[in-house]
Amino acid sequence: MNQSKADIKALEKELAAKKRELKIEKAFEKVRAHAMSMRLSSDLQKIVNIVAQELNNMNLDITGVFMVINNDEIDKQFTFWGSTGVAEIYMKKAAIPFLDRPIYRVLAEATTKGEHFFTEEYTREEKNEFFEHLFKFPPYSSSTPEWKEQVFSREGGYTRSVSVSHYTSIFVVNHFGRRLSDADNKILRRFGKVFEQSYTRFLDIQKAEALAREAIKQASADRVRGEIASMRTSEDLNRITPIIWRELETLEVPFIRCGVFIIDNENEKIQAYLTTPDGKSLAALNLAFDTNYLTNNAIKYWKENQIYKERWNREKFINWTKSMIKIGQIQNVETYQGSSVPPESLHLHFVPFAQGILYVGNVSTLTDEKLELVKTLAEAFSMAYARYEDFKNVEEAKNKIEITLNELKIAQAQLKELDELKSRFFANISHEFRTPLTLIMGEVENVLASNIHSADKKKLEIANINANKLLVLINQLLELSKIDAGNLELKSENGNLVSFLKNIFFSFESFSSSKNVLLHFYSETENISLAFDHEKMETIFYNLLSNAFKFTEGPGEISLAIKVIESAKIEIILKDTGIGIPPEQIPHIFNRFFQADSSTIRKHEGTGIGLALVKELVELHKGKISVSSLENEGTEFRILLPLSFEQTMSASGKNITVKTAEKQTSFKPEAQPAIQSERGDKTESENHKKIILVVEDNPEVREYIKEQLVNSYRIKEAENGEEGLLAAEDQLPDLIITDVMMPRMDGYEFCLKLRRNEKTSHIPIVMLTAKAGFDDKINGLETGIDAFVTKPFSAKELKIRIKNLIAQREQLRKRFSKSTIIRPTEVSAISADQRFLKKTLKLIESNFHDENFSVELLADKINMSVSQLNRKLNALIDQPAGQLIRSLRLQRAADLLKQNSASVSEICYNLGFSDLSYFSRAFKKQFGRTPTEYREK
């Protein structure tokens, strides 16, 4: 019987064990079935819940079940799913940073070492310390105070059983410190293996989801790129927002509004393409970077390539809408809002890309995962938009090129026509000039050959020299026009180039002596036979030598060397020790009408024709010309001419070196007229003539002006503005005639300095100018010029202008010649004159009491000589200094007598008169009454 009971108990125990095993297997199967039915990676949480429920069903004494991912980051971040098995879902996937506490540290070390199973026990204090730290991190940081209180109030310690597999670890905990039995721990181990299988399924699904997401993202990106690649105009950009709307929906990004901001960083502008809540495109908003705080922040984050987030409540949305209406960017509020009521809440997300920002608005903030999808979309948009910009730039460049090519063709045709017109004009005008010029020169030469007075002969010599200059210029213009038209032909004749150049070179000998310039001629042989156009070769070297002399001051040197070099060429080098050419001007000196010094103070006159003609003529001879130069050291011209087989060189091989010697030539260089100054004692009447200062750098023009005026005026001369300034201060002339373009100081600067100088500010100025434009006259008037005479000028016009200016000054002076009340502003409009008069009057009035105050003391205080002071005062008010002092004292006396402020004698002595009888005579002379009679009047 007892045996039977024992067998029954054993059988019942075995049956219970089998029943529990069946329950366990059923639980395992349930876990496996759910694992196989997983379609999404998020379903893993359900598996964790089922494991917790089944462990609870098996009466394991636990308060929680957790699945931990085993990876290399477990000692840095704790990633897990958890469940109590009581609620449907205890918590979602969580990740907390490493906590340096035993409960965390032991688990991390054990899983890292690969331990398969272990248990742990902790005291209540250790448990609570761990939870204090745990509640600082999400998701635990959002736990309610009641829940936290419940955790901390539990009695006992903390026990944990852990089953470690390859990918995961599953552990159960008891927050009251009760340990699992060995049998329960075995069940946990088995659940660990089953859960590992579930997690493997999870990984497969996760990989499939990742591939699917990537495929969707790639397809979305491809669609965006394809759409934008089809855009051709800025109007096409209005299609942007519908595209973005569609792709956000495809990527399952939650949103209610979206848009794209295209940023123009250079001009600090934003072009915002937005949608309405129903996905329709709004007109683009054109905003400045600093429109408001939102645009400022969006641009700031864009520059830092960071996502910018902002939450709007209804009030902020309304304020934004109002600001857009105010600046005219929004017309219909309801269209923009999508309804008559603005949204209660709107979370704005601004995701940057290279050319702008992708904007997504939603009722809640987007998760990091969804923001990554938006970033992918933004990157695809950026690449596509860059291609759109490239295409647009190419199209614009293509259009510009086509326009430019058409304009170039038109310009080329116009230039060709203009060149032909210009050539015909130069040819025709040159011919028209030559006819009257020939008659003028012929008549001048006839008169020169007759018996005429030496003074008249000198005038005709000047006229003849300048007529020759004009003829040279006309011939050069005619040559250039023939070259342009292709009608200039060489009339070549065989000749000895050495002797030809030597004759031209030494025809400048007398001129070189007058300038103190040495001439050096060098040739390796006496004879180099060459076929060349003698007239044109003479023109080439006349121009080159003229330039060399023009820019070389004595003492200096000019050399010409000729030799035959390899490859059958003749090399001719003309070198001087002149002022040189600035390096930036060397490439242009053979250009027509180019002048190295185009300023108004250039020292050397010229037209810019000579060197251009030289180059053309050298090239007609199939030669080449080049130049090298160093400033302040000199210039070297190098000409290469071809030597044909027929041309021979004398075999004597004798070197020729010649220095300044007499040579005969038919060529006549420019001569300088011998201008003689007329001498003789000045008559008394001449001393009373008005003085005119002529400031002109051209001696012939200066002499011509002098001849026209010398019978009526005393003429003083100066070669430039600097000399003219000194002469004006010293002589104080009645009028100044000045040129505009002069060396050292041009006419404008000269006039400005005259007007600013109290000694010379009153002098009338006549300016001779070839610049007759409106701006030039305004510039001159602003510097204080009284009259312009345009070159070439009429002597009669010049005389009339001078006469009128002097007469105007005479009338003004007569008005003040006997005046005792002088107002400087009425005397002159020139500020320097006004300052001078104010200072003079103030000095006189402040020294009324000083009987020793004299003209000499007044001149000294004003920093002028007595003669300068008297000439200045006479020019302004027609009163010398002595008369002015006396007149002002007497006027003050008259004022005091009217006021009856003192006796006659007291007034006399207080005003610097030492003799009462003299005071009475002078007073009566000025006012027609004695002082006593004047007071009693």
Q: Does any domain span residue 504?
A: yes
pLDDT at 350 (0 to 100): 94
Residue where one domain finishes, among candidates 366, 387, 411: 366
> What is the average per-residue pLDDT within 445-457?
71
Q: Are 766 and 726 in contact (CB under 8 A)?
A: no
pLDDT at 482 (0 to 100): 64
Lowest-pLDDT choice from 89-103, 138-152, 163-177: 89-103
pLDDT at 302 (0 to 100): 93
CATH number of the domain encompassing residue 251: 3.30.450
Does 648 share its domain with 748? no
Domain assignment of residue 844, given as a range? 824-936
pLDDT at residue 646 is higher than 60: no
Q: Does any domain span residue 241?
A: yes
pLDDT at residue 674 is higher than 90: no
Q: Does any domain span residue 167?
A: yes
Quickly state the pLDDT bin for 349 (edges 50, 70, 90): very high
pLDDT at 514 (0 to 100): 78
Q: Compute the distance between CA of residue 855 and CA of residue 874 in angstroms, rounded to an integer.
A: 14
Hey, what long-range contacts does 454-462 have (CB within 8 A, 24 or more apart)? 454/676, 455/678, 458/673, 458/674, 458/675, 458/676, 459/707, 461/673, 461/674, 462/673, 462/675, 462/700, 462/703, 462/704
Q: Are 426 and 475 in contact (CB under 8 A)?
A: no
Does 144 share its domain with 265? no
Does 238 share its domain with 203? no
Structurally, the chain folds into a number of domains equal to 5
Q: Are 495 and 630 in contact (CB under 8 A)?
A: no
Q: Does any domain span residue 651?
A: yes
Buried b (16+ CB within 10 A) or exposed e, 341-365: ebbeebbbbbbbbebbbbbbbbeee
Does 244 share its domain with 203? no
Peptide bond into 242 cis (omega under 30): no
pLDDT at 3 (0 to 100): 66
pLDDT at 679 (0 to 100): 35
Does 578 share its domain with 691? no
Lowest-pLDDT choice from 240-254, 372-386, 822-836: 822-836
pLDDT at residue 605 is higher than 60: no
Residue where one domain finishes, among candidates 313, 344, 366: 366
CB neighbourhood size of 614 (10 A): 24
SS3 742: coil
CATH number of the domain encompassing residue 873: 1.10.10.60
Strand-pair partners of 112: none
Q: Does any domain span residue 639?
A: yes
> What is the average per-residue pLDDT within 607-633?
84
Q: Does any domain span residue 430?
A: no
Residue where one domain finishes, among candidates 148, 173, 208: 208
Quickly state the pLDDT bin for 841 (edges 50, 70, 90): confident
Does 626 share its domain with 710? no
pLDDT at 638 (0 to 100): 93
Q: Which of 152, 342, 369, 331 is nearest to 253 (CA)?
A: 369
Lowest-pLDDT choice from 485-494, 525-534, 680-689: 680-689
Q: Which of 517-531, 749-763, 872-886 has the highest mean pLDDT?
A: 517-531
Does 797 share its domain with 854? no
Q: Which of 782, 840, 787 is nearest to 816 (CA)?
A: 840
Does 25 share its domain with 103? yes
pLDDT at 645 (0 to 100): 36
Contacts of residue 499, Cβ cutoff 8 Å, sequence gap at least 6: 526, 527
> What is the average per-residue pLDDT within 645-667?
38
H helical segments located in 740-794: 747-756, 774-782
Q: What is the mean pLDDT of the chain?
A: 76
Q: Are 769 and 776 in contact (CB under 8 A)?
A: yes
DSSP string, 109-125: HHHHHT-SEEEEEE-HH
Quick: pLDDT tens for 761-784: 788 899 877 554 455 566 666 677
Q: Does any domain span residue 63?
A: yes
Does 832 share its domain with 803? no
Does 914 share its domain with 840? yes
pLDDT at 424 (0 to 100): 64
Does 837 share its domain with 800? no
CB neighbourhood size of 143 (10 A): 16
Q: Which of 446-450, 645-649, 751-755 has the highest mean pLDDT?
A: 751-755
Hey, what long-range contacts does 424-428 have (CB within 8 A, 24 or more apart)? 424/481, 424/485, 426/477, 426/478, 426/480, 426/481, 427/478, 427/481, 427/482, 427/485
> What is the average per-residue pLDDT within 553-571?
87
> What is the average per-residue pLDDT within 311-326?
87
pLDDT at 653 (0 to 100): 40
More confident residue, 283 or 578: 578
Helix (H) or strand (E) segment spanning residue 322:
helix 314-326
> What is the average per-residue pLDDT within 819-847?
66
More confident residue, 438 or 717: 717
Q: Are 849 and 912 in contact (CB under 8 A)?
A: yes
Quickly state the pLDDT bin for 668 (edges 50, 70, 90): very low
SS3 73: coil
Name the DSSP letter for residue 178: P
Using a pLDDT cut of 70, give the percent of the chain over it: 75
CATH number of the domain encompassing residue 29: 3.30.450.40
Buried b (16+ CB within 10 A) or exposed e, 682-712: eeeeeeebbbbbbbbbeebbbbbbbbbbeee
* CA dihedral of residues 470, 471, 473, 478 (deg, nearest 10): 140
Structure tokens of 239? Answer: 């299609």
pLDDT at 613 (0 to 100): 81
Helix (H) or strand (E) segment spanning residue 446:
helix 368-449
pLDDT at residue 251 is higher than 60: yes
Structure tokens of 163? Answer: 């089953």
Does 622 share its domain with 690? no
Name the DSSP letter for residue 340: S
Lowest-pLDDT choice from 667-676, 680-689, 755-764: 667-676
The pTM score is: 0.34
pLDDT at 602 (0 to 100): 46
Q: How far is CA 402 from CA 397, 405, 408, in A?
A: 9, 5, 10
Helix (H) or strand (E) segment spanning residue 549:
helix 534-550
Helix axes 855-862, 881-899, angle to 10 degrees: 110
Q: Does any domain span residue 403?
A: no
More confident residue, 124 or 605: 124
Strand-pair partners of 691: 714
Q: Which of 250, 253, 206, 213 is nearest to 40 (CA)?
A: 206
CATH number of the domain encompassing residue 689: 3.40.50.2300
